[in-house]
Structures are given as structure tokens and as C-alpha cells.
């Protein structure tokens, strides 16, 4: 009985349909919207993006902007707004018969290579493609994988200049948006952003803003108190670590730097929901923590960070 909570056939449920634009540089939610539950995934995303780009360029006129989105946002009106605004984009592209036909030979080559070597294969190709509703052709990159689990074929559409020379690198940069997807997971699982419990739509929209503000505060704190250890391999660039070496590094970081890598539940358990005694007197309120609390040093570090902010004079 909530306003605009409608049934969505793909998700097979009554729901709202929130949309977020996050910054991959600092993990902040920069634009959010709450939509009725039965709309297209990209409804209004072009207006949100245009508003964001306008605000950014008011402060940084020459800033370079690159937008990434999954196939739900890979629709003509998103390409159009990006091209009109002069920004780079990379969107997932849903497969169709034409795209599959253009990439069948690449997939067959990946399968043949895997059968010959018994090693996982990952091949790339790129070509110009124009769908029937597009006013002109756009650059499409295809990834074809073959391994013991089977095959996997994916497409992206992009206008990035380097994608013509390095399609694999362009695809991998798009795939890195999976890290931004983790922010959505934190919002839902860690901060319960789906607690849209009011009857009125606008009240639930306001709830969404409160959750996003809480997340932005957490993301800012996480960046400020982070103290990552150096990689064991001696390589100063963590991004260069691959496979198990990368897994070992982040497992060690979670032990050494629990708040810098911590999800909302970690911050609650280690820093917020902590036993303490409170003594109230005429002049002050004293919060007493246990001296044997194992995360006392982290608490002090967070407090020092908060004290470093300049005091704003009232009035």
C-alpha cells in the first residue's frame, strides 16, 4: 500500500527502483533518485547525468569525465546525452543476433584454444556497429572466454579514444566498475537502504537521502583513517598484484587495517557498538572506555581526525 511501489516483472516483486551515480575516485554517492517500481532501469538517468556534469563543470570547467554503466544503462538516450555533453562513456551492451553473429568466430577460436591447451582463454575483438535505432555507428568491444566451466561472451559500447587501439584494456577498465557495485551492496546490506517503510513516496525518497548521507560519511572516514600495508611482493603498486597475491594482500589488509577496508558492519562492531560507561556531572559528560579494548588505538585515530577539522564559528 505504498505510493508508487509497483510490480516489476524482471525482479518478480513489488518495489521501488532507486538509481545512483557514484564517484569511483572517492566512493561518494553524488546523485541519487528514487523511481516507481515498474520503470526502465535508465529512466531519468540522462537528466541526472546532465545535472551532475553541469555542476561539476561549474567548478572544474576542464575536468575529464568518464561514465560507466551496466547494460541496463546501455540505451540510446544515454549515448546521446554523453555525446552531447562531450564526455567519455562505456556501457554494457545486451547481446542480440547480429552481435552474436559478428563474434561467433572469436568465440570459436577461444573454444579451440582452450581445447588445445586446457588453459582458460580470454580473447577480444572490436568493430563498428549500428543498431536500427542508432543515428550512427558506435565502437563495440566483445570479450569471448572459454574455460572448464563453459563459455562467456560480453559486449560493451564505448567512445573512449584508446578503445580503438587497446580493446582489452578498455574492457578491463569497464569491468572495474564492479568495485563501484560493491558500494551498492554496502548501501543495501550494510546500511539497509531498502528500509523504505513509509507510505508516502517523498518520505521514502527522503529516507534514501539519509542513508546516502550516512554512507558518504562512512566512505569519507574510511579514506581518511586508512593505513594500508605495503604489498609483500615488494611491488609498490597494489593494482599490479594479480590472482592469489592480490587476495593475500587484501586479506592481510583487513587484519592490519580493519577500518580502512571495513564495511558498515565492521565499523559498527569495532567502533560504534562498543561497551562504555557514561558519567554525567554538572560540568561535563565523561564516556569511559575499557583500557583493554583492542581497537582503542583506532578509536583515538578517528577522534584525532575529527578534531583536525576547523571549527566553524556560530552566528
pTM for this one? 0.84
Note the pLDDT of residue 183.
Answer: 87
The domain locations on the chain are 6-216, 226-307
Q: How far is it, in rounded angstroms, from Cα 52 to Cα 314? A: 31
Q: How far is it, in rounded angstroms, from Cα 8 to Cα 39? A: 8
Mean pLDDT, rounded, for 127-146:
95
Cβ–Cβ < 8 Å for 64, 57? no
Give the contacts of 85 (CB within 8 A, at least 6 positions apart): 49, 50, 53, 65
The residue among 300 and 60 whose pLDDT is bigger is 60
The DSSP symbol for 33 reads E
Q: Reduced to 3 states, what is the DSSP secondary structure of residue 85? A: helix
Note the pLDDT of residue 234.
Answer: 65
pLDDT band of 312, cuts 50, 70, 90: low
Share of the chain above pLDDT 90, in %: 62
Structure-block grid coordinates of residue 258? 580493519
Q: Dump pLDDT digits (tens) for 148-197.
A: 999 999 999 999 988 999 999 999 999 988 888 888 889 988 898 888 88
The residue among 263 and 231 whose pLDDT is bigger is 263
Strands 6-8 and 285-288: unpaired
Residue tagged 575499557 (cell numbers): 290
Mean pLDDT, rounded, for 198-211:
93
Mean pLDDT, rounded, for 261-287:
89
How many of the other CB atoms lie within 10 Å of CB of 215?
Answer: 22
Closest CA to 13 of 22, 24, 2: 2
pLDDT band of 238, cuts 50, 70, 90: confident
Cβ–Cβ < 8 Å for 88, 65? yes
Structure-block grid coordinates of residue 32? 541519487
**Residue 298 above 60 pLDDT?**
yes
Closest CA to 20 of 269, 208, 225, 246: 208
pLDDT band of 313, cuts 50, 70, 90: low
Closest CA to 253 of 219, 222, 227, 223: 227
Mean pLDDT, rounded, for 24-46:
92
Amino acid at each position: 500500500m505504498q505510493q508508487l511501489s509497483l510490480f516489476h516483472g524482471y525482479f518478480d516483486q513489488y518495489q521501488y527502483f532507486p538509481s545512483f551515480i557514484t564517484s569511483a575516485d572517492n566512493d561518494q554517492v553524488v546523485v541519487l533518485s528514487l523511481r516507481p517500481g515498474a520503470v526502465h532501469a535508465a529512466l531519468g538517468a540522462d537528466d541526472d547525468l546532465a545535472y551532475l556534469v553541469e555542476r561539476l563543470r561549474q567548478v572544474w570547467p576542464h575536468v575529464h569525465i568518464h561514465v560507466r554503466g551496466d547494460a541496463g544503462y546501455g540505451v540510446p538516450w544515454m549515448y546521446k546525452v554523453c555525446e552531447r555533453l562531450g564526455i567519455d562513456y562505456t556501457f554494457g551492451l545486451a547481446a542480440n543476433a547480429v552481435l552474436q553473429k559478428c563474434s561467433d568466430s572469436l568465440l570459436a577460436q577461444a573454444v579451440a584454444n582452450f581445447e588445445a591447451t586446457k588453459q582458460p582463454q580470454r580473447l577480444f575483438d572490436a568493430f563498428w556497429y549500428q543498431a536500427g535505432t542508432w543515428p550512427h555507428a558506435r565502437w563495440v568491444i566483445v570479450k569471448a572466454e572459454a574455460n572448464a566451466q563453459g563459455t562467456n561472451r560480453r559486449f560493451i559500447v564505448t567512445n573512449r579514444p584508446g578503445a580503438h587501439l587497446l580493446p582489452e584494456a578498455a574492457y578491463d577498465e569497464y569491468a572495474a566498475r564492479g568495485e563501484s557495485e560493491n558500494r551498492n551492496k554496502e548501501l543495501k546490506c550494510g546500511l539497509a537502504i531498502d528500509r523504505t517503510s513509509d507510505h508516502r513516496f517523498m518520505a521514502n525518497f527522503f529516507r534514501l537521502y539519509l542513508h546516502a548521507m550516512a554512507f558518504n560519511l562512512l566512505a569519507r572516514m574510511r579514506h581518511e583513517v586508512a593505513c594500508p600495508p605495503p604489498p609483500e611482493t615488494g611491488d609498490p603498486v597494489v593494482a599490479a598484484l594479480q590472482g592469489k597475491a592480490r587476495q593475500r594482500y587484501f586479506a592481510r589488509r583487513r587484519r592490519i587495517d580493519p577500518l580502512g577496508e571495513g564495511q558498515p558492519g565492521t565499523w559498527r562492531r569495532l567502533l560504534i557498538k562498543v561497551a562504555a560507561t557514561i558519567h554525567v556531572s554538572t560540568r561535563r559528560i565523561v564516556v569511559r572506555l575499557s583500557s583493554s579494548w583492542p581497537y582503542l588505538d583506532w578509536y583515538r585515530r578517528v577522534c584525532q581526525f575529527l578534531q583536525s577539522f576547523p571549527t566553524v564559528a556560530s552566528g
